[in-house]
Amino acid sequence: MNRKLALAIGEKINKAVTVLNREKQIARDYGIGFPLNHAEVHLLDIINQHQGENTSQLALRNGITKGAVAQITKKLIEKDLITTFQAPENRKEVYFELTEIGRKAVSGHDRHHRRLSAGLSKYFKTLSDKDMQTISAFLDKIIEGNSPT
C-alpha cells in the first residue's frame, strides 16, 4: 500500500465531508421567494415522496425524532408549504400534504441537486463498471466505519 496516497485520500475525504457539511448549513431560495434550511427542504421532499404518512413515520424515514418533525412541520405550515389533514377512519392521526408552494420548493430543490450532481454524473460515465463497483465498496466501508453501533 502506498501510505502517502492513502493519507492523501483520507485528507480528501475530510475535505469532502467539510464541503458537504457546509452545503447543509446554507439556507436557499428554491424558487419560492424565501429561503429554506436543509431540514425544512428535506422534510418537504420526504412528505412529497411518502404522502399520507404521520409524524412517527416521517421521523423514522428522516432519521430524526418525532419532536423534530413536529417543530419542522410547524414552520412549514406557517410558511404555507404544507397543510395537515386527518383520515376519516382515523381522526387521531395527523397527516401532511404539500401546498402548491411546497411542490414548487421541492421542484426547485430537485433542480438544485441535479445541478450539483451534473459534474459527478459526467465523470461517472467515463468509468468502467469495475471502477464504479470499487468506488461503491469504498463508500460502503466509510459508511460502515462511521455508523453508530
14 pLDDT higher than 80: yes
Calpha distance 106→111 (Å, rounded):
9
CATH of domain 27-143: 1.10.10.10
Task: Please report the pLDDT score of residue 147 as a whole number.
Answer: 61
Cell numbers for 143:
459508511
Portion of the chain with pLDDT greater than 70, in percent:
97
Q: Between vectors from CA 20 to CA 54 and to CA 56, what angle results, nearest 5°?
A: 10
Q: Is 70 helix (H, G, I), strand (E, B) or coil?
A: helix
Cell, residue 99:
401546498
Residue 120 near residue 126 (C-beta atoms within 8 A): no
Predicted local distance difference test score (pLDDT) of residue 149: 55
pLDDT of amino acid 148: 62
Q: What is the pLDDT of residues 70-128, one digit of tens each?
A: 999 999 999 999 999 987 887 788 899 999 999 999 999 999 999 989 989 999 999 99
Helix (H) or strand (E) holding 32: none
C-alpha–C-alpha distance, residues 35 and 37, integer Å: 7
Domains of the chain by residue range = 27-143
Task: Give the three cell numbers for residue 8.
Answer: 492523501
Strands 28-29, 35-36: pairing is: antiparallel
